[in-house]
Amino acid sequence: MLRVEGLSHSFTNGTETTPVLRSINFNIKQGEIVALLGSSGSGKSTLLNLMAGLMKPTEGAIYIADTNIVKMSENQLSEFRRKHIGFIFQAYELIDNLTVRENVELPLVFQSVHPKIRKQKAMELLTQVGIPDKAELFPSQLSGGQQQRVSIARSLITEPSVIFADEPTGNLDTKTEEEILAILKRLNATMSTTFVIVTHEREVAEQTQHIITLRDGYLVTDPAAGGRQLIGEEAR
């Protein structure tokens, strides 16, 4: 459902060009939960932002459900993102002066969905992430882990085909991290949503079905294994 082909990206500052991603190729199947693993500066966020259509690559193609999003105009892309893509951020990015429920409903407000239906869907999702009792509170009244649950519910409300999460547990303690990962895995198992989770922690990556490892902008693969992704100890 997601195919990256010959993807390269460089940032240019004045006269200086820094290559950040170099000829990346991989496939992700519908319904997979995938980790994008690599140390700080290896290019994970850049790759995620490219796949989410938030910026254009220097070179290459990104197919989501058979459409090359690199070729889309800005208008087509924002429409495509609204319909098919969800995003979860490390810093939650909730709106302070809206309640938890209103935050979750927000993507549907932009789609002019009837308030009653919006509310019902938001409450269902808040139940799925385990915090229906927090619906009428404000984000500042919640713990970090609870705020991330809200952000997960918000990302799901438009029923996207793929959700991109950039270090979603990066601000959380180990116990809360495990709870959030368990929620993501459960949602992935019950819905057909594909999840791509960026992490620099091997323990987090090893909880997923498929690990894509980046090192200095290169994909870590094993040519001897037919270009298979290296996982676990092999990739070190």
Residues near ligand ADP (CB under 6 A) are 11, 13, 18, 20, 38, 40-46
Residues in touch with Mg ion (CB under 5 A): 45
Residue 176 token pair: 């809360």
Tell me whether residue 124 or residue 216 sits nearer to ligand ADP (CB atom): 216
Q: How far is the CB of 40 from ligand ADP (least distance, A)?
A: 4
Q: Rank residues 13 and 15 by Cβ distance to ligand ADP and give the closer one.
A: 13
Rounded CA gap, 228 and 155, in Å?
31
Name which of 161 and 171 has its Cβ closer to ligand ADP.
Answer: 171
Closest CA to 4 of 65, 51, 36, 54: 51
For residue 89, give both structure tokens: 């951020």
> 227 contacts which partner out of Mg ion, ligand ADP, none, CB within 5 to 8 A by kind?
none
To the nearest whole angstrom, how small is the minimum distance from the Cβ of residue 16 to ligand ADP? 9
In angstroms, the CA 161 to CA 164 distance is 10
Closer residue to Mg ion, CB minimum distance, 45 or 188: 45
Sign of CA dihedral 194, 199, 202, 207: negative
Distance from C-alpha of 129 to C-alpha of 151, rounded to nearest angstrom? 10
Work out what residue 143 binds among ligand ADP, Mg ion, none; the CB cut-off runs from 5 to 8 Å by kind: none
Q: Provide the 10 A C-beta neighbour count for residue 164.
A: 26
Pick from Mg ion, ligand ADP, none: which does 174 bind, CB < 5 to 8 A by kind?
none
In this complex, which beta carbon is closest to Mg ion, that of residue 45 or of residue 103? 45
Q: How far is the CB of 213 from Mg ion (least distance, A)?
A: 14
Q: Out of Mg ion, ligand ADP, none, which partner does residue 38 contact, by CB within 5 to 8 A per kind?
A: ligand ADP
Q: What does the DSSP 8-state code read for residue 153?
A: H
Helices 144-156 + 100-110 axis angle, to 10: 20
Q: What is the CA radius of gyration of the chain?
A: 18
- Among Mg ion, ligand ADP, none, what does residue 158 contact (CB within 5–8 Å per kind)? none
